[in-house]
Amino acid sequence: MSSSPPPAANLAGHLDPAGNLPRHVGIIMDGNGRWANAQGLPREVGHERGADSVRTVVRAARELGIEALTLFAFSSQNWDRPPQEVFHLMALLRRYLIEERGEILDNDIRLVTVGETHRLPAYVREPMVELIEASATHSRMTLCLALSYGGREMITDAVRRIAQEVVDGALEVDAITPDVVSQHIESSRILPPLDLLIRTSGERRISNFFLWEAAYAELFFTETLWPDFNRENLLEALADYSRRERRFGLTSAQVEASLQEEV
Ligand code: FPP
């Protein structure tokens, strides 16, 4: 049987022939509460230590050459936590945006957000929007904060807008392809394909994070609680990722041939 050319379209945007570094890493930062509980401290302290890990990991990702890092900082469902915890998380976000402004701007990092950010209080939105605008042309790394974010919510929103375009006669039903759907999901439109999804704290769930984007992401679960997660833990996840073979539904031989074509 003659071997047909590999369907390289499956691989578009994913392969990195020069090395095995993921272009886009997403992190479900879990375990702040359990970390605090284990030390006999209030949950809020766990979130504060979690914010320190955010600083460490953003710096490490930039130094290592990761193109995009998305941190799941607050889910659509987190609004239902006790009001004082929600307030504390919002205050922490504001503090992070103000205190890290210099670090983000000095290091050529572009800040973006995904999620229903209009639901955030003005005291978070204002420094957030200011920093998004001030860093808009930066290109060393994209830091994406998923805020008031839910994967189902984002897909639902995309479905609604696609349906409206069909109703308006701007889009044919038969023209709705996965690419068209991706174009209606903000995170897929503005970020590189998700390559590696890390979840801390031993839980093995996606919990309504990048549902669409995770289709071909490699998953890495670690027992480490988020406040303890550091540069070494990130390196461990990246090393694990570099040993994986990503096939995107193809055979090993096809993937190998595509890689040869790219170099
Ligand atoms: C999950 O841990 C974590 C969160 C709901 C919030 C994540 C927030 C931070 C890491 C700090 C602020 C973020 C930034 C970007 C400055 P959990 O509380 O559900 O932990 P548990 O499962 O052990 O209770």
Residue 113: CATH number of its domain: 3.40.1180.10
Catalytic residue among 20, 78, 107, 230: 78
What separation in Å is there between the alpha carbon of 201 and the centre of ligand 1? 11
Is 78 a residue of the active site?
yes
171: in domain: yes
211: in domain: yes
pTM value is: 0.92
Is 30 a residue of the active site?
yes
Instruction: Give the chain's residues under pLDDT 70.
Output: 1-19, 263
Q: What confidence score (pLDDT) does residue 258 get? A: 85
Number of domains observed in the structure of the chain = 1
1: in domain: no
| Residue range 66-119, pLDDT digits in tens | 999 999 999 999 999 999 999 999 999 999 999 999 999 999 999 999 999 999
Nearest protein CA to atom 22 of ligand 1, as residue: 31
170: in domain: yes
What separation in Å is there between the alpha carbon of 134 and the centre of ligand 1? 26
4: in domain: no
Greatest alpha-carbon pair distance for the chain in Å reads 66
3: in domain: no
5: in domain: no
96: in domain: yes
Q: Which domain holds residue 144?
A: 10-262
